[in-house]
């Protein structure tokens, strides 16, 4: 389910949520997992500037109908300035979260397994983009003026 609210031309808010039920039967043990995940995005525009924020809840999943996978909170902050041909954009992802891990876990009466994945790409990073657009080529009208006087179809003549 998703809800978008736009109180003004300068502000828009989007909230999304999903509930899922996973059930795997058979083998030594039955597996089931109920989970709610959600995310929210806020964008604000003022003059040549735009600001944004995004957040997502941790997710849980059944991998190969056996392994329970749990992820972490994620968020992003962004700011952008555009003027004439220039654009500058800065993004910060998970800026204050250092130890994000993905945990895979399997517990059965005969076997137990736990793996923790850590990678720098899961953690904080920032980007800065600078762009300048160059106009080139012949300037043309987007669409020629066209007057419809009579039918151009052979069927209607």
What percentage of the chain reaches a pLDDT higher than 70?
83
Q: By three-state DSSP, how is residue 121 classified? A: helix
pLDDT in tens, 1-27: 999 999 999 999 999 999 988 877 766
pLDDT of amino acid 150: 53
Whether the model clears a pTM of 0.75, i.e. scores above it, the answer is: no
pLDDT of amino acid 86: 92
- Distance, in Å, from the CA atom of 80 to the CA atom of 148, rounded to the nearest integer, reads 44
Q: Which of 26-30, 105-109, 144-148 has the highest mean pLDDT?
A: 105-109
């Amino acid at each position: 389910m998703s809800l978008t609210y736009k109180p003004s031309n300068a502000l828009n808010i989007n909230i999304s949520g999903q509930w899922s039920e996973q059930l795997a039967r058979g083998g030594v043990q039955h597996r089931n997992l109920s989970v709610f995940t959600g995310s929210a995005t806020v964008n604000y525009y003022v003059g040549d500037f735009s600001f944004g924020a995004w957040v997502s809840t941790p997710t849980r999943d059944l991998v190969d109908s056996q392994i329970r996978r749990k992820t972490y909170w994620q968020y992003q902050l962004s700011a952008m300035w555009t003027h004439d041909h220039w654009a500058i954009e800065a993004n910060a992802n998970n800026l204050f979260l250092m130890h994000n891990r993905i945990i895979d876990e399997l517990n059965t009466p005969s076997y137990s397994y736990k793996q923790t994945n850590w990678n720098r790409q899961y953690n904080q990073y920032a980007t800065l983009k600078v762009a300048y657009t160059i106009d080139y080529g012949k300037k043309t009208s987007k669409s020629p003026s066209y007057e419809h006087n009579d039918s151009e179809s052979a069927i209607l003549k």
